[in-house]
Structure 1
Amino acid sequence: MFDELHPAQFPGTVEVTAFLDGAQEAVLVHNAGVVEPLRAIGTLDAGMVMSAVQVNLLAPMRDRRGWVVHSVNPGCMDTGMREVMRRTPGEVWFPARGRYSRLAADGDLPAPDDVARRIIAYRLP
């Protein structure tokens, strides 16, 4: 695993090419994202915003030359990010908090492992 906030630790083109040598296909699952700090944009400092942009937007775009990229939206699942959203204090503007709380209370948030199995079955029938 690599920390998206520290891209220098990622393998370079030479290492990736050697790792994939002889492979007919490679599947990369980019499963990173951050939701904290969950506050109104105007209350965040530039460093907080840049960290979120780095992980959520720029990291998936990094070094994808020549790759075919498919996007799969797994929908809502019961992750640590959803827990953060559900326990966000009421004074923080977050209109979907009630929806996520209801989904969790009703047992309608699948476990990440179940979602991963669905994605693998979709990609590797």
Structure 2
Amino acid sequence: MKAVVTGHSRGLGLALAGELLSRGIPVLGLARGESAALQQRFGAALRQQALSLADSGAVLRWLDSGALGDFLQGEDEVLLLNNAGTVQPTGRADRHAPDAIAAAIALNVSAPLMLTSAFLAATPLAKQRRILHLSSGAAQQAYPGWSIYCASKAALDHHARAVVADAIPGVRICSLAPGVIDTDMQAEVRGAELDGFPLRPRFEQLKAEGHLSSPADCAREVIDYLLRPDFGSQATADLRNL
């Protein structure tokens, strides 16, 4: 078994990669930066590729290199964790710069969909292919100031539903909302301008009252679910309800 994890160098992605590696599952990490700590701890079991997932051209060129297929070649069980994402741009819809929208959609939507297609094409002989999109409650609930984030996470949810409808042999997919996690993204949310994100006090309260999950605890629960026999029985799910 091998796994591909996007955004592995920080936050939840770092915890997910570490959890997989600690279970003896080699990881290919894709992110703008690398994790020296993970490399030192796990050595050759971790392969890292510096790649801006917000640059669709760069993603396409990397996929054309064949490196993804080389990493996964010969494996009967393969995993893809589409974790990388951004909450930016935030604020009212009339205040978003077009280039910021384009970068967010490239990172939150285009990259996961491109990687999913390439992952499936590269592993036609694998008996088990499991794909996890890291979604959000924002995919189901509209929040003021989060129009781009909500739309991008909803796109992942519906993509998972459509892939299930494709009924590709050996493929299981789920777009999973992991809950509220104590990461840099949450710090960004709490630092947002109140007039552009009126729900900021709610997230400040969650932090103050200790209701945020740690990345390590969340990663352990996510990987437990990813490896469960019933993974993919629901195209979309919330980790807190499993």
TM-score by length of 1: 0.85
How far apart are the structure 1 equivalents of 2:55 and 2:104?
13
Q: Cα deviations across residues 52-78 of structure 1 (Å, max 9, x unaligned)?
A: 111112211114234633222101111
User: Which contiguous aligned blocks of 4+ residues in structure 1 show a shift greater than 4 angstroms?
Assistant: none
Verify the 8 A CA contact 2:80 2:116 in the aligned structure 1. no
Number of aligned residues: 124
The offset of 1:13, in angstroms, is 6.9
Matches of 1:34 and 1:20, distance apart in 2:
27
Q: Distance in 2 between matches of 1:90 and 1:84?
A: 12
Higher mean C-alpha deviation, range 7-16 or range 69-78 = 7-16
Is 1:111 paired with 2:214? yes
1:12 corresponds to 2:64? yes
Distance 1:26 1:90 in 2: 43
Structure with bigger RCO (C-alpha 8 Å, 6+ apart): 1
C-alpha distance in 2 between matches for 1:63 and 1:56: 12
Q: Distance in 1 between matches of 2:115 and 2:64?
A: 9
Residue 201 (structure 2) pairs with residue 98 (structure 1): yes
- How many Å separate the matches in 1 of 2:222 and 2:63? 25
TM-score by length of 2: 0.47
Farther-moved stretch of structure 1 (54-63 vs 100-109): 54-63
The answer to whether the aligner puts 1:36 opposite 2:88 as a matched pair is yes
Aligned residues with identical type, % of pairs: 31
